[in-house]
Structure 1
Amino acid sequence: MNTTESIVEGYFRQFRGCLTIADVKVPKGFGRQLDLLAFNAKTGDQYHIEICVKHDLSFCLNPKETRQLLQQKFFGAEKSLSNKVYLEAIKNTYKAYGFDFQKVIRVWSTWVIHDSQEPEKDVKAEFSRLAIKHGIKRPRFELLLFRDRLLPELFSSIGTQNYSDFNLRAISLVAMAEKQTKKRDGRIK
């Protein structure tokens, strides 16, 4: 699990109250894995989270460009031109963890979306078209923008406790430093 995946995992665990499992191998998926599965025992919500965070804006996609990525990550389309689909392998992986293909909330976390006034709405529309094509009756999808939503939520809600999660602890330290270092009359307060 890389740093951004770890931060998203900590966010779901610490701030959404979910049980999580990272890097879930997809049997018969030819090397595929799900970045993160999360379950909220209070609400019964089941999440499949895919994380693709590149903070260099030249790598950020627009809503139309996300279609192929969503197809690959959530519905098992092959990256090559072979047209192989590993959807059944993904469904079986969900089932192995007690998740229901129809009820899973798919979450895609990325830095930002380019060329969109309403990225949540635009990407959700792309996802809904794909989900309905794959037989999901009531698609549930969430776009978790790392820069514009996840980090601000963490900064505003994280406390001063000594988190055992190294990434959350680092975010806590940076958030507290930002709050405490307001310049007034040339002095740091």
Structure 2
Amino acid sequence: MNAAEHIVEAYFRLCRKCFTLTDLKVIQGNNRQFDLLAINIHENLAFHVEVGVTHRPNWAPTVVQLESGFEKKFFGSVPKRESKANGKTDHEKGKIYFDQIQNTYQAVGIDPEKVQRVWVCWIVKGKENTQPITLDINSKTLNRRFKVEVLSMRDLLLPELQRNWNFELR
């Protein structure tokens, strides 16, 4: 886990009162893992959370740039690569890991149809970032619609952690 993932895990554990599982390997997922699964037992809520906060200049992606990350992390698409050797890449084989993602939800007791997908980034360029942004995404990989909640670490998570746990950011 990187520092941003630790902060997001703390937010879901402390502010949203969730039990958390970090860096969970996707069953038969060929080097795939979830950044965070968070479960609020009292409210019967489950979240698949991916964190896209880095030190690079692209801390402020647009909604269009986010969608390719959603396809890979939430819907199991694979990057377009061609093999250099005789073997075939997952893309060349037409591999999609959506079923493995669904099976991993089920393995920890989450109904795949009820999981809420959440993406955390620094901010979203061109959007108001003080409230969650709910996107209705049409997955190109699955030709199916999903909702993804996008949270700003800068404008939502850090201030809420500060308010709820009474510490001062300097």
Provide the TM-score with structure 2 as the length reference.
0.82
Amino acid at match of 2:37: L
Match of 2:99 among 88, 106, 130: 88
Alpha-carbon distance change, 131 to 124 in structure 1, aligned in 2, over 3 angstroms: farther
Contact map agreement 1:23 1:34 (CA 8 A) in 2? yes
Offset at residue 22 of structure 1 (A): 0.3
Q: Which segments of 5 or more consecutive residues in structure 2 lack a partner in the other structure?
A: 82-90
Equivalent residues of 2:36, 2:50 under 8 A apart:
yes
- Residue matched to 2:11: 11
Per the alignment, residue 158 of structure 2 pairs with 151
* Secondary structure, aligned partner of 2:135: helix
Match of 1:102 in 2: 113
> In structure 2, what is the Cα distance between the partners aligned to 1:33 and 1:58?
23
In structure 1, the partner of 2:139 is: 130
For residues 32-84 of structure 1, the C-alpha deviation after alignment (integer angstroms, 9 at most, x for no partner) is 00010011011100100001102544443111111111100101111234152
Query: Is 1:79 matched up with 2:79?
Result: yes
Between the two proteins, what is the percent identity of the paired residues?
35
Counterparts of 2:149 and 2:162 in 1: how far apart (Å)?
A: 20
Which deviates further from its counterpart, 150-159 or 52-61? 52-61
Does the C-alpha gap of structure 1 residues 12 and 134 become closer, same or farther in structure 2, counting only changes over 3 Å? farther
For residue 115 of structure 1, report the CA deviation from its aligned partner. Answer: 3.1
Deviations 1:93-124 (A, max 9, x none): 01101111110000000111113357955x61
Higher percent of residues as helix: 1
SS at match of 1:65: helix
Whether the 8 Å CA contact 2:71–2:139 is kept in 1: the answer is yes
Higher mean C-alpha deviation, range 76-85 or range 30-39: 76-85
Task: Output one character per residue of 1:149-169: Cα deviation in whole Å (capped at 9) or x when no partner.
Answer: 11111122222xxxxxxxxxx
**Is the Cα–Cα contact under 8 Å of residues 59 and 121 in structure 2 kept in the other structure?**
no
Tell me how many residue pairs correspond in the alignment.
158
Q: Which has the higher contact order (CA 8 A, sep 6+)?
A: 2
TM-score, length-scaled by structure 1: 0.74
Query: 1:115 aligns to what?
Result: 126
CA distance in 2, matches of 1:131, 1:47: 22
More strand by share: 2
C-alpha RMSD of matched pairs (Å): 2.4
Alpha-carbon spacing, 1:7–1:149, altered in 2? closer, same or farther (3 Å): same
